[in-house]
Amino acid sequence: MKSPISLVHETPAASPEEARRHFLGKLSVETDPSDVRHDQLTGLDSFLLVDVRAASAYAERHAAGAVSLPYGDISPDSTAGWPKDRLLVLYCWSPACNGAAKAGLRFSELGFRVKEMLGGIEYWQRDGFPVEGSRAGSAPVVG
């Protein structure tokens, strides 16, 4: 009988140095709700949490402490008063939403340092972290 082929080993694993570079690259542009909330609770406010969904979605429900700037509205004018030395942590709806990635591109083109909060408002709320807004308890988790 023929030995089964390993799908895990079909493609060789990266060397430790290649893996280190890969994961360092990912972590330099990503964070998660747990890390964001940890920093909020410990008073480490070296970043600005930005909800990049539509203003109406933000008004209904957003992560505690977040400000709103829909990704379609990001421009030199709309960010004129924003400090470029402060990290921006961006989020949208969920893992299936690429609004934060679009916003990250726009903000970085304007000279801002950015990270995407993985999972968006969906995973923020799933983790039990506080939300604010007119429908904080009843707004849909995803849009």
Q: Does 23 fall in a domain?
A: no
Q: Does 49 fall in a domain?
A: yes
Q: Does 68 fall in a domain?
A: yes
Give residue 90's domain range.
30-132
Q: Does 1 fall in a domain?
A: no
Number of domains comprising the chain: 1
pLDDT range class, residue 2, cuts 50, 70, 90: confident
3-class DSSP assignment, residue 115 = strand
Q: Does 60 fall in a domain?
A: yes
Q: Does 59 fall in a domain?
A: yes
Cα separation, 28 vs 143, whole angstroms: 27
Domain harbouring 102, CATH code: 3.40.250.10
* Residue pLDDT, tens place only, 36-95: 999 999 999 899 999 999 999 999 999 999 999 999 999 999 999 999 999 999 999 999
* Residue pLDDT, tens place only, 88-122: 999 999 999 999 999 999 999 999 999 999 999 99
pTM beyond cutoff 0.95: no
